[in-house]
Amino acid sequence: GKTILITGVASGIGACAAELAGQMGADVIGVDVREPSSGFSSFIKGDLSTAVGVEEIVKQLPNRIDALANVAGLSGNTGVTATLAVNFYGLRALSETVASRLREGGAIVNVASIAGYGWRANLERAKTLTAVAGFPDVASLVSEHGLKNEEGYPLSKELLLLWTMRAAHEPLFKARGVRVNAVSPGPVETPILKQFRAVLGDARVDSDITRVGRAGNSADIAPAILFLCSDGARWINGANVPVDGGLEASINADVL
Ligand code: NAI
């Protein structure tokens, strides 16, 4: 069987992806800072918000992994430092550290968001913040760049989308035949959505949902993550796949 490492398995999209991967016969190694309610044969309790936390997780991993699905994320409601640390720098540190254990033809899938599509408009900032190597002192970066709490979530996803494209071409991944892709959900009914409502306001979230008729659920997102992890996606690299019921298309094409 294949071994897939999935972060954020205690809730929402990560829990659903773990369940589906298990049903498909994969050996799932789940990671989360919280204990999952359903039983995992292989669960690592770990914190992606610090360099030490990432190291502790990696120590417990097997030497050979087929795919890494980076699903864990924060909404931004706990502040910009924690959000950038988990959603980008911790995710990247885990990916870079796991790279040597990923088999030839293996894959990394990053769960980004429609909230990250500003990467192109904010390219210079995204370039600067992704150029900082390793797991930096995120609090210092935040004060150095004057980043505000409300910027944390979209910024973290902008960095993630830019890094996904670049990582696909980095020797660390490319020379090993490891593909790196992203999935960008629209609004999905999970606990984080309530937090987005508090941050963005109901009107904003509801208008996105209205455009496409309903919110997504975790089972709408998980298959796309697992497909990009699979050998069937062998010629897809550095891509972002919107999984949003058509939301991004409707905004781009200005359909209403
Ligand atoms: P969720 O809140 O249900 O699950 C997130 C999981 O990440 C939780 O189990 C949490 O404990 C874990 N996590 C948080 N901080 C962690 C840390 N420091 N170390 C390890 N694990 C940590 O949210 P959901 O919806 O399942 O989110 C999954 C991903 O999907 C996130 O990256 C989120 O940004 C993204 N997303 C979600 C959308 C939605 O509307 N639900 C929309 C677009 C993107």
Domains of the chain and CATH, by start: 3-188+218-245 (3.40.50.720)
Q: Is the CB of 193 under 6 A from ligand 1?
A: yes
Q: Which residue has the tokens 């690592």?
A: 44
Percentage of the chain with pLDDT > 90? Answer: 95
Task: Give Cα 170 to chain centroid, integer Å.
Answer: 18
Among 11, 70, 87, 91, which residue has the most ligand 1 atoms within 8 Å of its CB, making it the best to mutate? 11
**Whether the Cβ atoms of residue 104 and residue 177 lie closer than 8 Å to each other:** yes
Task: Give Cα 63 to chain centroid, integer Å.
Answer: 22
Q: State which ligand 1 atom lies nearest to the alpha carbon of 196.
A: 40
Among 6, 9, 13, which residue has the most ligand 1 atoms within 8 Å of its CB, making it the best to mutate? 13
Residue 175 alpha carbon to ligand 1 centre in Å: 30
Q: What is the mean pLDDT of residues 174-188?
A: 98
Q: Looking at 34-38, 102-106, 140-144, 221-225, which range is the least confident one?
A: 34-38
| Per-residue pLDDT band at 254 (split at 50, 70, 90) | confident
Q: What is the mean pLDDT of residues 20-29?
A: 97
Strand, helix or coil for residue 97: helix
- The per-residue pLDDT for range 64-121, each reduced to its tens digit, is 999 999 999 999 999 999 999 999 999 999 999 999 999 999 999 999 999 999 999 9
Q: Which residue has the tokens 């910024």?
A: 155
Within a 10 A sphere around the Cβ of 95, how many other Cβ atoms? Answer: 22
Residue 89 alpha carbon to ligand 1 centre in Å: 15
By CB neighbour count within 10 A (0-12 exposed, 13-18 middle, 19+ buried), where does 214 fall? exposed
**Whether the Cβ atoms of residue 39 and residue 14 lie closer than 8 Å to each other:** no
153 catalytic? Reply is yes
Residue 50: the pLDDT is: 98
| Per-residue pLDDT band at 22 (split at 50, 70, 90) | very high
- The per-residue pLDDT for range 147-158, each reduced to its tens digit, is 999 999 999 999
Strand, helix or coil for residue 4: strand
Q: State which ligand 1 atom lies nearest to the alpha carbon of 75.
A: 34
Q: Is the CB of 33 under 6 A from ligand 1?
A: yes
Q: What is the mean pLDDT of residues 44-54?
A: 98
Residue 91: the pLDDT is: 98
Within a 10 A sphere around the Cβ of 134, how many other Cβ atoms? Answer: 9
Q: Is the CB of 14 under 6 A from ligand 1?
A: yes
Residue 160: the pLDDT is: 98
256 has a pLDDT exceeding 70: no
